[in-house]
A and B are shown apart, each in its own frame.
Chain A
Amino acid sequence: MINLDDLEAAIRSALPVSHLEIEDQSNGCGESYAIVLVSEAFEGKNTLARHRFVNDLLKAQIAQMHAFSQVCYNHWSSIASIRTSKPSKVERG
């Protein structure tokens, strides 16, 4: 497990952060986190590259969790789109 503060510190020390949301989805046991991260470091990277980048930066932290979910943006302007359509709202058609 890893606590939220450590995760946040790890993220902030790894790359320039202009916006960060961390949600502990494990009810406090520190096994499952979802993050929304806006950083200029994502500029020029596609989604897969962004996720690989974050996976690599947080390798030690992710190894201590059961589940890790991320949404990465290079700019604030992209945030609006996730507010209206959260990934978890997937329903069987």
Chain B
Amino acid sequence: MFRASLRSPIFSLRPSAAKTLTASRVLAVRHLSQEARAQIQNAVKSSPLVLFMKGTPSLPECGFSRAAVQVLDLHGVPPEKMKTYNVLADDELRSGIKEFSDWPTIPQLYVNGEFIGGCDILLGMHQSGELENLLVKNDIIPKVEESLEAQPSAA
């Protein structure tokens, strides 16, 4: 239930500022410690593409996470440019990442440290061709070749 209180301008929160906050805000701050935040920050940047998911790519434990993995697989994202974190294996990460991203669900995709979205957004971008463009632009997959037929005529 703490999820409801987990949205605040967290980046600007410092101990001095926290004193003036309401009780729920303070709770939210305490919930994601500076340490946990720093860890997630590192995780987000640990690879060009980072996916926070339930389960692992070979054994997803949720249909939404499975779909995310499959889409990335479809685009041929190479393993060395991708890292996944199993939030089911780490309770602190599971709740922490939701607050960190200000996003209520898992999976969550980051590309070069930037939050891209969850499963719906990922699938939507896959369909529109935006995902491929994004992956190419970020040097995660090579331009053209392999996926000629999937290439929407992006100018």
Contact = CB atoms under 8 A, between A and B. Distances in A.
Interface of A: 47-48, 51-52, 55-56, 59-60, 62-63, 67-71, 81, 85, 87-88, 90-93
B141 interface: no
Contacts of A48: 115-117, 121
Contact of B120 (A51, A56, A92): A51
Please tell me the size bucket of the interface on B.
20 to 34
B118 A51 contact: yes
A63 B105 contact: no
Identify the interface centre among B115, B118, B121: most chain A CB within 10 Å of its CB: B121
Interface in B106-123: 115-121, 123
A52 B105 CA distance: 11
B120 A69 contact: yes
Interface stretch (B1-9, B28-36, B40-48, B83-91): B1-9
